Amino acid sequence: MEAGQLGQRVPVEHRVWGVFDRRYVPALLVVIAVALLWAVVMPAVDEAISQDEIAAGTVTTLTHDVSFSPAPGWVYDGVPVGSQTGVTVFSSGVRFTIQSGRFKGSAEQLLAQVSSHEDDYKVTGDVRSLQTGQNVPGAATQIYGHDFSGALFAFTQDGVGVSAVADGPANLLGRQTRDVAGMIASIRFGGAG
């Protein structure tokens, strides 16, 4: 028998179930414990800690000095830490996702850019014009997916773009229209001020 083969054999007095070396069971348990801790336990603890509904007047900052006010009563999908590229909030089955980034072009061009890379939904209907409470001009269009519908919004100012998607089951989406409109109106370029 070669040294390599001999070296792989577990001495009989250390065998567990006839094959595994009991001396290394603790080391394997450490590995399994670390994997469970980070992949299962901590996410479960995070999930279990109650997440309060967003309070009125909350301002969430995004990158590129963009901010918006999530509607009161909605809940974050993962508490935003620092300036985020994107933030998602939920309420009653409706999702609102907003993202900021660098973009040189018009709101219509951003709308086309975002929808051209999106496989999850399709765009339907005309592109409409709208503006934020800060009077930043934007564009919006309707979207639909396999079992949801919604709207896609885009705004640009001074090389910064903001896209937002509100989607959910059609029967639920209608009840949140006012909140979504409020969040769109609250988008501010150039800081939370």
Partner 1 sequence: MSAAARASAIAESGWAYPVRFFQPQNPAFWVYALLVAGGAFAFYDLARPLAAYPTAAVLSVVLLGVYALPFIWFITHADRFAREPVKLALLGFAWGGLAATWVLAVPGNDAVLSIYAKLVSVDFAASWGPPLTAPLVEESSKYAGLILLFLLARNHVRSAYDGLLLGAFTGLGFQLFEDFEYLTSAVVANFGASQVEDVVSTFVLRGVTGLWSHALYTALAGAGLGYFIGARERSRGHRFAVAAGFLLAAMIIHGSLDAVVATGGWSVALTVVAGTGGIVFAWRFAERRQRTWIGVLLADDVAAGTITADELRALTGRRKDRKAYLKAKPGRRAARHARHVLGAAADLAARIAATDDPLGPDAVAARAELARVRALK
Instruction: Single out the residue of 163, 168, 176, 188 in contact with partner 1 (rule: CB under 8 A).
Output: 163
Nearer of residues 12 and 81 to partner 1, judged by Cβ: 81
Instruction: Single out the residue of 14, 22, 43, 93 in contact with partner 1 (rule: CB under 8 A).
Output: 43
Per DSSP bridges, beta strands 188-189 and 66-68 are antiparallel
CA atoms of 191 and 129, how far apart (whole Å): 23
Binding map of partner 1 across residues 110-149, x = CB under 8 A, - = no contact: x--xx-xxxx------------------------------
Instruction: Single out the residue of 12, 31, 55, 147 in contact with partner 1 (rule: CB under 8 A).
Output: 31
> What CA–CA distances, in Å, run from 56 to 3, 7, 36, 159, 181?
72, 67, 37, 30, 15
Binding map of partner 1 across residues 64-83, x = CB under 8 A, - = no contact: --------------xxxxx-
Nearer of residues 38 and 122 to partner 1, judged by Cβ: 38
Residue type, 2: E
> Is residue 20 a contact residue for partner 1 (CB under 8 A)?
yes
CA atoms of 88 and 75, how far apart (whole Å): 9
Q: Is 26 exposed, middle or buried (0-12, 13-18, 19+ CB in 10 A)?
A: exposed
CA atoms of 33 and 44, how far apart (whole Å): 15
Residues contributing to the site for partner 1 (CB under 8 A): 3-4, 7-8, 19-21, 24, 27-28, 30-32, 34-35, 37-39, 42-43, 45-46, 49, 51, 63, 78-82, 85-86, 99, 101-105, 110, 113-114, 116-119, 161, 163
